[in-house]
Structure 1
Amino acid sequence: MSSTELPPGWAWATLGDLGKWYGGGTPSKSRPDFWTDGTIPWLSPKDMGPESITATQDHITDAAVRESATRLVPPGSVTIVTRSGILERFIPVAYVSFATTLNQDMKALHPHEGVTPHWIAWCLRAFESDILRNCRKAGTTVASLSTKALMNCEVPIAPPAEQRRIIEALEGHLSRLDASDSLLHSCNARTNSLVTGTMAASLRQAHAQAVRLDEVAEVRLGRQRSPKNHSGDQMRSYLRAANVGWDGLRLGDVKKMNFSDTEAEIYRLHPGDILLTEASGSAGEVGKAAIWNGEINDCSFQNTLLRVRASEAVSPAYLHHFLRHEALRGAFRASTRGVGIHHLGAAKLAAWPVPLPPPGEQSRIVRTIEETSFCVEKLRNTLQGASDRSRSLRKALLDRAFSGRLVPQDPDDEPASVLLDRIRAEREAEGPKRRRTPRPRKAATPPPPPPASSTPLPAQAVQQEFEL
């Protein structure tokens, strides 16, 4: 990043030079006195989301701060998640206006005077892709950032007065973008209700009598996967839950396994078959429905899917729209069972009540739903285009802000180099940092005093820190 030319009065500085860094720690859960009636905020990755944190979900006690590895971070700090699966995609960063302690998967930077905390926070977001590329550790089970690499990252520093002007202008523009994004999100959420509302209104008009699903269709759970079927001389394509989405079939990644002729006959898909997701880690994803139109020759299905094959008494298209309507309105979600993996079950689906209007009315309902769906799809495409433009505008604003092109410069501003020289001089005057004396952990039950002749036990506590 330091190869980029900066505006007059700006300078490059490493994150490690811009303030005091703090690590985190998790007080022992086996110590109730560390957690019960705690009043000190304890910030963890689950609190990270807003750009500015106003409260934490968890609190600890004074005893936890005194006797565990966690430390109190001053107000006005910038917090960063440094270990989480979410680092595969982005870096959660937030400004914290109050004093807090941290979870062990987080770090905090309390900037020196003259370095605006919000400047650091937005800078981290602006250079997020560079930081992830240069600081993410390789070969770890959970994505994490190297503390040393993070502190060695160079970021642009504007003159203090210009920092404040830029942040004020940037946050003003972004607040308007946030309001637009919120409206887009609300509109997207309402598109599903347009389809479900159309189906509900059509069914009310039809005054149809309900029957069990298995009275008008065959319901079957897919074929069980087994290591012995990973190879063989009759490998056939099959669909699984990942191939069914809210917008229909997703056939970009179709697997194969070995089927005997008898199994292939049982599990082969026919045009008009309806596939529903039977199991998912999220209850809201169970019951997603898509209709099969013979897209792949000789294709079967696996037991994370349920197949519904309509009889002559019901239109496959009508049945598909009804089952999708049930999934969208959350009816299947409320009926799932299981811990960790949520299941719908063939028996439960077979007994599901299905309104059965006359054939002509079924056709009318299908036409109405498809006309509504067509309009909704056009609306979603429009909303997606607006969302894409919003992301591009957000990126452009950050680019302009941290290249000195968002607000006019003032030649009378104190240059950033003067600020950095002052910080450097203050640090040198303080002398080298000394490690804090390790604090002994308080035992849950004090051990009996040792005999007079015994050797004293060493201190057991460890204070987790890292060198600046």
Structure 2
Amino acid sequence: MDELMGRVPEHWTKTSLGDVADVQAGHSNLRPYFLPLGAAGVGVVAASQVGRHGRVSDFSARRVPDHVAASMTRFRLREDDLVCVRSGEVARAALVGPGQDGWLVGTSCLRVRVRNGDRVSPRYLLHYLAHEEVRAWLVARSSRSVISNLRTRTALDLPVLLPPPAEQRAIVEVLAALERKEEAHRRVAEETGKLRTSLADRLLTGTMHVTDG
């Protein structure tokens, strides 16, 4: 473990992902069941829905009929499951929210389901999977052809470092606070960019004037 993350406190537990979670590869081919965009049905999480900020996006998600999803219980998602990209940009992960409860995990993803939420916080595990050293470990062990591919067995073998549950919760709270600040700054930057574009257009076309001094 030390070679993955460096030295860690002695009271932390050293284990593997397979010891604390079940890992399920997505359905091999849901494409024939896809409904037209905008149609009602059960959503499918593909790699494009696994956001870079740890959230699953509903935007442009494909859907399948309810009766099809009902026959695929092995691939169903629950709130607080993790979805990890296994094909292409491997190891990017996101937490399933209430809006995706009951959806299906798609071909290009793995579902990671914590077995004991009292022992392992799914949100702590999400941050752990996002750590650059952990992602590098997974990427280095992914098979490569035209695109990288993360095997289920590799994910199960991932070394996992676990602080005590109370410490996990404290870590999650600190990182969540920082994420909220980051999001606030991002929104300020976006609005400032819009203002700059608007003012530049008016200034450079003479519809707004500035004076010296």
- Say whether residues 1:299 and 2:106 are aligned partners: no
Q: Aligned partners of 1:221, 1:315: CA distance in 2, in Å?
A: 21
Query: Are residues 397 and 334 of structure 1, via their aligned partners in 2, closer, same or farther at CA, if it must alter by over 3 Å?
Result: farther
**Residue of structure 2 aligned with 1:391, choices 182, 194, 197:** 197
- Say whether residues 1:379 and 2:185 are aligned partners: yes
Query: Are residues 300 and 390 of structure 1, via their aligned partners in 2, closer, same or farther at CA, if it must alter by over 3 Å?
Result: same
For 1:310-352, what per-residue CA distance to the aligned partner results, in whole angstroms no more than 9, with x for missing partners? Answer: 0113111211121123489755444443243222222211111
Match of 1:267 in 2: 75
Query: Are residues 206 and 246 of structure 1, via their aligned partners in 2, closer, same or farther at CA, if it must alter by over 3 Å?
Result: farther
Q: Aligned partners of 1:331, 1:309: CA distance in 2, in Å?
A: 20
**Residue of structure 1 aligned with 2:155, choices 349, 356, 367:** 349
2:175 match: secondary structure: helix
- Equivalenced residues, count: 195
1:381 match: secondary structure: helix
RMSD of aligned alpha carbons: 3.1
Q: Counterparts of 1:188-199 in structure 2 under 5 Å?
A: none
Q: Aligned partners of 2:79, 2:10: CA distance in 1, in Å?
A: 27
Q: Aligned partners of 2:52, 2:193: CA distance in 1, in Å?
A: 19
Gaps of 5+ in 1: 1-199, 407-468
Query: Are residues 379 and 204 of structure 1, via their aligned partners in 2, closer, same or farther at CA, if it must alter by over 3 Å?
Result: farther
Query: Are residues 310 and 334 of structure 1, via their aligned partners in 2, closer, same or farther at CA, if it must alter by over 3 Å?
Result: same
Cα deviation, residue 218, structure 1: 0.6
Alignment TM-score, normalising by the size of structure 1: 0.37
Q: Aligned partners of 1:205, 1:350: CA distance in 2, in Å?
A: 23
Higher relative contact order (CA 8 A, sep 6+): 2
- Say whether residues 1:236 and 2:42 are aligned partners: yes
For 1:55-114, what per-residue CA distance to the aligned partner results, in whole angstroms no more than 9, with x for missing partners? Answer: xxxxxxxxxxxxxxxxxxxxxxxxxxxxxxxxxxxxxxxxxxxxxxxxxxxxxxxxxxxx
- Say whether residues 1:245 and 2:48 are aligned partners: no
Q: Aligned partners of 2:110, 2:140: CA distance in 1, in Å?
A: 18
Query: Are residues 292 and 327 of structure 1, via their aligned partners in 2, closer, same or farther at CA, if it must alter by over 3 Å?
Result: farther
- 1:327–1:333: 8 Å Cα contact kept in structure 2? no
Match of 1:254 in 2: 61
Q: Counterparts of 1:64-83 in structure 2 under 5 Å?
A: none
Cα deviation, residue 296, structure 1: 3.8
Cα deviation, residue 275, structure 1: 0.7
Cα deviation, residue 277, structure 1: 1.4
- 1:275–1:292: 8 Å Cα contact kept in structure 2? yes
Query: Are residues 227 and 358 of structure 1, via their aligned partners in 2, closer, same or farther at CA, if it must alter by over 3 Å?
Result: closer
Q: Aligned partners of 1:265, 1:329: CA distance in 2, in Å?
A: 29
Q: Counterparts of 1:101-120 in structure 2 under 5 Å?
A: none
Q: Which amino acid aligns with 1:269?
A: L
Q: Aligned partners of 1:380, 1:214: CA distance in 2, in Å?
A: 36
Q: Counterparts of 1:61-460 in structure 2 under 5 Å?
A: 204=8, 208-226=12-30, 228-230=32-34, 236-247=42-53, 248-257=55-64, 259=68, 261-262=70-71, 264-280=72-88, 285-296=89-100, 298-312=102-116, 313-326=119-132, 330-396=136-202, 398-400=204-206
Cα deviation, residue 393, structure 1: 4.2
Q: Which amino acid aligns with 2:185?
A: L
- 1:243–1:250: 8 Å Cα contact kept in structure 2? yes
Q: Which amino acid aligns with 1:374?
A: R
Q: Aligned partners of 1:396, 1:331: CA distance in 2, in Å?
A: 50
Query: Are residues 228 and 249 of structure 1, via their aligned partners in 2, closer, same or farther at CA, if it must alter by over 3 Å?
Result: closer
Q: Larger C-alpha radius of gyration, 1 or 2? A: 1
